[in-house]
């Protein structure tokens, strides 16, 4: 089969052996692949696939069930030919991939393979960090910076669909205009406005931030923490704007705040299976009712993976980029 | 009745009205009072009693049940004359105090009133932060700095009694010698040794810190965080050594660490009642079997409360200071 292997920080279309599913695994014939910033880091050698996964990138795919191991078959959730999507530890940039049965999900009704490929990583990451780590509740205020990122294009509508108020940030008024359809209540232009000052104002207005799912961090984190709501959770999911921050410990103490590091990839297989089961049970119906809609910025063929990751690196995309696999 | 009222940052023996228990409350005739550093802050005006509690200090007492409100009586846990100890929002520096029924506990077998008065605040705080907030498990390593503090005199033996390894810190070799009976596995003399370097060494030795219950904080916190175990919890319970710290966000992220502010006083009555019920069920048997032993530094009469708090302020005490109430 074909796969995009990493050679000298470039992805190269290569011929590799088609994998066979182990007992608990499902072999997926891939139709579409969702791209993530982590793929870019992996291409540059900074974020290797965990043990047991192919060493090429790709954290989420959609496709059909091609074959099943014995235990996976016995679980009875899927049959050959079913349309599925899956969360992977790596190895999605290929024609086929094996995934543990618990990492495979049915596709919500009426979604295309391209749309379904946007779901596993971004929806699991958003759900994990908004609800498990961030304890987001109806009526809470969520701060989800980097509103133009692929992840925010999922996390913002998800938080809204569960009844939260959402504050986000972008780098220009132009981008603010483009992400309006996501439904954030407040869009901060961080080129012109001080994020922590706006969050201070939110507190004064009686809508302090209850949780943040923060991929930027840096000094803004430490400056913003004191304005959180009592018992708030600030979840660090990446550190794109800075790896260090000064934290005022008195507000942390007196407000009972939580500063938490969270990576989906670090979760055990059991935790991931539980998380995905909650996604299917709680979030898929919201997609099927149209309360959340997967948004795609661009679809490119698998062979153009380098170009696709360049788009992410340049920060051009609003929403997810998809690679289409030619399986004929 | 007599109570020690705060006047110009001094405690003054005063005559106040004896309280009557409300429906859900128990009136306790006080025999002994456990002192806490928070009392000192309250005397100085920094830490007022929460709403509904007397404005004089005192977070934990022992004594006997003098009267009960209707609902408290119906709960059936106590009868008039029972020996009890109780966690208070304030108001313990007196001859009588009313406490919600859920904040009152039986006294472990064979303990004196003086010993029982050391239990509620320090044991509840230790249990809350070691187990609820800090997720301490058997075989974990706990870092509990300020080993000579009243709280550490409870928290260290408690962590040991539950099968944890304990690292603590003190300000001199002399004090290190004095706290040896508490059973800590490592006692750092922070006047001579860099705490974060020792914690780094612990990680290299394969026993990284899984949780800290930290009353000191300051820059040592931020310098030590990167050496924690995966998924570790650093619980900030006071900031005696500094209110600000620089946090490295990459180790926080990649190790999935938690930095948490925690104050027992901020917990709801329901949470406190649940916590105290766990104490009685899980910790009291360990005291009764001799696996943990309340330690008292000094007993003084209620009238000497100012002197008693001066001892805490000077950092003289190893273990708890108790005030004895003359009820004749």
Same domain, A104 and A194: no
Mean pLDDT of B158-176: 97
From A137, A130, A190, A121, select the one nearest A156 (Cα to Cα). A130
Asked if residues B251 and B232 have their Cβ atoms less than 8 Å apart, the reply is no
Same domain, A159 and A60: no
Q: What is the DSSP letter of A206?
A: T
User: For residue B244, what are the β-bridge partners?
Assistant: A248
Residue A284 lies in a domain: no
What is the CATH number for A231? 3.90.180.10
Same domain, B105 and B137: no
Same domain, A162 and A58: no
Any B CB within 8 A of A215 CB: no
Same domain, B13 and B114: yes
Q: What are A116-156's pLDDT values in tens digits?
A: 999 999 999 999 999 999 999 999 999 999 999 888 989 99
Residue B67 lies in a domain: yes
Looking at A264, A285, A308, which one is the last position of a domain? Answer: A264
Question: Which positions in chain A touch B255 (Cβ < 8 Å)?
Answer: 261
Same domain, A9 and A106: yes
- Whole-angstrom distance, CA of residue A232 vs CA of residue A199: 13
Mean pLDDT of B213-217: 97
Any A CB within 8 A of B254 CB: yes
Same domain, B88 and B15: yes
Residue B277 lies in a domain: no
From B325, B286, B305, select the one nearest B43 (Cα to Cα). B305
Which of the four pLDDT bands, split at 50, 70 and 90, describes residue A327? low
Same domain, A224 and A106: no
How many domains in chain A? 2
User: For residue A4, what are the β-bridge partners?
Assistant: A13
Which of the four pLDDT bands, split at 50, 70 and 90, describes residue B274? very high
List Cα–Cα distances, B161 to A175, A179, B291, in angstroms. Answer: 57, 55, 6
The domain in which residue B236 lies consists of: 123-262
Looking at B262, B277, B312, which one is the last position of a domain? Answer: B262
How many residues are recorded in chain B?
A: 328
Which of the four pLDDT bands, split at 50, 70 and 90, describes residue A304? very high
Same domain, A51 and A147: no
Look at B246 and A246 and tell me if their CB atoms are within 8 Å: yes
Residue B111 lies in a domain: yes
Residue B270 lies in a domain: no
Q: Is the model's pLDDT at B265 over the cut of 90?
A: no
- Whole-angstrom distance, CA of residue A71 vs CA of residue A231: 43
Mean pLDDT of A169-179: 95
Same domain, A223 and A259: yes
Tokens 């009205």 found at: B17
Residue among B246, B252, B261 whose CB faces A236 most closely = B252
Residue among B245, B254, B256 whose CB faces A247 most closely = B245
Same domain, A148 and A193: yes
Q: What are A41-61's pLDDT values in tens digits?
A: 999 998 888 889 999 999 999
Residue A41 lies in a domain: yes
A46 by Cβ neighbours in 10 Å (0-12 / 13-18 / 19+) ranks as: exposed
From A217, A182, A223, A186, select the one nearest A202 (Cα to Cα). A186
Residue B249 lies in a domain: yes
Residue B304 lies in a domain: yes
Same domain, B114 and B127: no
Looking at B211, B241, B262, which one is the last position of a domain? Answer: B262
B258 to chain A: closest CA residue: A260
């Amino acid at each position: 089969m074909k796969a995009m292997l990493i050679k000298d920080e470039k992805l190269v279309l290569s011929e590799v052996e088609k994998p066979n599913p182990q007992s608990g695994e499902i072999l997926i014939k891939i139709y579409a692949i969702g791209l993530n910033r982590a793929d870019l880091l992996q291409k540059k050698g900074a974020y290797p696939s965990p043990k047991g996964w192919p060493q090429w990138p790709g954290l989420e795919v959609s496709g059909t069930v091609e074959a099943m191991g014995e235990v996976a078959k016995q679980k009875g959730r899927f049959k050959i030919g079913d349309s599925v999507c899956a969360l992977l530890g790596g190895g999605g940039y290929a024609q086929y991939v094996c995934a543990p049965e618990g990492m495979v999900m049915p596709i919500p009704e009426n979604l295309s393979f391209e749309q379904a490929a946007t779901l596993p990583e971004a929806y699991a990451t958003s759900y994990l960090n908004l609800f498990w780590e961030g304890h987001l509740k109806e009526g809470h205020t969520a701060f989800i910076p980097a509103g133009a990122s692929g992840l925010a294009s999922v996390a913002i509508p998800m938080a809204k669909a569960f009844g939260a108020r959402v504050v986000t940030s972008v780098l220009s008024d132009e981008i603010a205009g483009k992400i309006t359809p996501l439904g954030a209540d407040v869009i901060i232009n961080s080129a012109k406005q001080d994020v922590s000052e706006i969050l201070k104002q939110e507190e004064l207005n009686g809508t302090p931030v209850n949780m943040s799912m923060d991929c930027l961090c840096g000094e803004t984190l430490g400056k913003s923490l004191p304005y959180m709501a009592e018992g708030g959770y600030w979840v660090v999911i990446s550190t794109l704007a800075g790896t260090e921050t000064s934290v005022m410990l008195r507000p942390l103490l007196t407000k009972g705040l939580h500063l938490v590091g969270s990576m989906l990839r670090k979760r055990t297989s059991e935790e991931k299976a539980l998380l995905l089961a909650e996604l299917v049970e709680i979030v898929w119906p919201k997609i099927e009712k149209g309360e959340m809609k997967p948004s795609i910025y661009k679809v490119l063929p698998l062979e153009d993976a380098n170009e696709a990751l360049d788009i992410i690196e340049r920060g051009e995309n609003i929403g997810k980029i998809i690679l289409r696999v030619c399986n004929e």
